[in-house]
Amino acid sequence: MTAVTITVTDASGNSATCNTSFTVTDNTNPVIVTCAPAQSAFANASCQASVPDFTANVTATDNCTAAANLTITQSPTAGTLVSTGVTSVTITVTDGAGNSATCNTSFTVTDNTNPTIVTCAPAQSAFANASCQAAVPDFTANVTATDNCTTSANLTITQSPTAGTLVSTGVTAVTITVTDAAGNSATCNTSFTITDNTNPVIVTCAPAQSAFANASCQAAVPNFTANVTATDNCTVSNALVITTISTAGTLVSTGVTSVTITVTDGAGNSTTCNTSFTVTDNTNPVIVTCAPAQSAFANASCQAAVPDFTANVTATDNCTSVANLSITQSPAEGTPVSTGVTTVTITVTDAAGNSATCNTSFTVTDNTDPVIVTCAPAQSAFANASCQASVPNFTANVTATDNCTSAANLTITQSPAARRLVSTEHFSDDYSN
C-alpha cells in the first residue's frame, strides 16, 4: 500500500493536506517452468515404498516473489508409504501473495521381490506301465510359498514337465516355479522317479534237449538260452539277460536234469521257465571175458542140464557198476539139452537196457552103454561036406535099448559075422558090449 498526501493551496499560497492510500495487490500465479520428473522405487517387504522428495527438482518463477522464496510443496508428502502401482503426485508452487500453480508427476512402485518357496514339493515315484512310461503327477498342490505383494492364494505355481506328461524310467527332474502378480518368480527342484517292476514275459521257453552219455556216463549241458524268446516293457529283447542254473558245459549224469531258464531285464526283474536235459546211456557193456565152454555126460534120458555160465563172465559198463550188470544166458541154466554141442549165448545188459553178447558152448556126450534086453538065442546047424556051416544072422533076434539111440538105430553086429563058415568048434563073442 502506498500513502497518498492530498495538498490544497489557495492563491495566497496557503495550503491544507489530507492523506489517502493506493494499494497494489499481486494476483498473478507463479509459473512452473519445470515440473518434477516422475520417479519410481521397488516395493519393500511390506509391498510399499516411501514417496521421495519431488520439490527439489521443480523450477518456477513469479512476477513478485523471488524463486528462492517461492514455497514448493507436494502431495503425498515425502515419506508417505504407498503401495505398488502409479501414485499421482501433485506439485504446488505458492508465491508471497498466496497465488499458486500446480503440476502433476507420478511415483511408480514396482514389485521386484521373488516369492519365497517355504516348502518345495516332495519327490514322487511310480512304476512304469506296459510302454515303460508313467505320467508325471501334480506336484504343485504340495508347494508352500509366500510373497511380499501377492497373497499365497494368488501365487501361480507351475511345474515342468507338466502333470500328465509321459516320461521314461529313471529320475526326471521336476522344476517348480512360483510366480507372483508382478511376474517375479522363484524355482525349486524335486524329482519324479519311475522304476520298472514288470517281469519279462517268456514267449517261448527253450525246448527240451537230450544227449547220449560219454564214457564217464556223463554229458555236457548244452546251451539252452539261444532258443528262448522273451519280451519286456522296458528292456529290448537283445538286451535281456538269459541264464540257466545248470550252465552250458556242466557235466550231468544220466537221467532227466531240470534246467531252469531265467530271463532278467535291465531293472533286475526276472521270470523263469523250466525245461529239461535228458542224458541216456546208449553204450553197450564190454564183455572182458566170456564164459569158458563146459561139457557134461548125458543122463538116462540122453540129456544134460545146461550149467550156469554167468558166474565166469567178466564185463564192464560206462554207467552201470559191475555188480549191477544183468548177466543172462540162453539156454538158461537148468535147461535140458541133448547130446552134441549147444551154443550158449551170454548176454550182459546194463541198467539202460544196452546189451552185449558173446557165445560159448555146452557139449553133452553119451557115455552110457546100451542095455541088451534079450540076447540072441543059440542056434545050430549041420556041418556040410567040408565039416563047416555058415554062421546064421543072430542080430535079428537081439533086443536092446539105449539112453540116446533109438532101438531101430542101434547097430547090432555079431562075430563071427553071418555067413562066415565055421567048423564044428565053438566060438565065443570077442566083443564086450
**Domains of the chain with CATH codes:** 31-110 (2.60.40.10), 116-195 (2.60.40.10), 201-280 (2.60.40), 286-365 (2.60.40), 371-423 (no CATH)
Distance CA 226, CA 244 (A): 11
Pairing mode of beta strands 209-212, 270-280: parallel
Residues 6+ apart with CB under 8 A from 332: 306
Instruction: Determine how many CB atoms are found less than 10 A away from the CB of residue 58.
Output: 21
Dihedral pair phi/psi, residue 260, rounded to 5° = -95, 120
3-state secondary structure 222-249: CCCHHHCEEECCCCCHHHCEEEECCCCC
Helices (H), 236-320: none
Enumerate residues 6+ apart whose C-beta is below 8 A from 188: 117, 120, 121, 143, 175, 176
pLDDT at 4: 85
Beta bridge partners of 14: none
pLDDT score recorded for residue 425 = 60
Q: What is the pLDDT of residues 375-409, one digit of tens each?
A: 999 999 999 999 999 999 999 999 999 999 999 99
Query: DSSP labels for 358-404?
Result: EEEEEEEE--PPPEEEEPPPP------TTSEEEPP--GGG-EEE-SS
Rounded-to-integer distance, Cα 13 and Cα 294, Å: 210
Low-confidence ranges of the chain (pLDDT < 50): 426-433
Q: Quick one: pLDDT at residue 433?
A: 31
Instruction: Report pLDDT for 430.
Output: 38
Q: Measuring CA to CA, which residue among 286, 340, 336, 275 is closest to residue 313? A: 286
